[in-house]
Structure 1
Amino acid sequence: MNANSGRVSQWFSMPMPLGKVAGLLDIDPAKAPGLVRAGRFPCRVTKVRGKYVATVGDVMEAMGIEDPVVQTDDLRAGADFAKRWD
């Protein structure tokens, strides 16, 4: 990767709350904290300000979704193109 490229997940900087992640992974949100404490949750999870969260990249990996490297200029050009149709 060069300075003008990055992974798709890097564009999503906000961590996802455990309940949302559990829903995406088809896990009962009520059981998710117990799975995290037991080390059996299928995604890497961290604790931020007392709440469990996961990054978009970790969730994508757990779901088997590829996290490709993209060129920043290509993303901007695509966004500019899409604006023409708004």
Structure 2
Amino acid sequence: MDVAESGCNYVVTVELPGVGRMISEVEINSQNLIVMGKRSTQWWKVASCSNDFIPAYHKREILQGPYQVAWTLPFNANKDRVSAQFVDGFLQITIPKL
């Protein structure tokens, strides 16, 4: 997660490769911005020569399963005017300042 600040906004960018825009959930409470969801690789297929062969991984670095990232909101964050966009595997959340 990256957090940037300008004169009028905070911009939080979360990298979510392999996660669709409808799979993530953004929650804002009195103190925190929380992004959570689940990444699944169940749809991936590994070619097999026969039906009874279970493929073995030689290397596995792609994360799967639930994820959650959180950022403590500054006192001057306007929690009522938050906007977000999801582009090319990145979720960018803009939080205006009061």
Same fold? TM cut 0.5: no
TM score, norm. by length of structure 1: 0.30
Q: Which structure is higher in strand share?
A: 2
TM-score, normalised to structure 2, is 0.27
More helix by share: 1
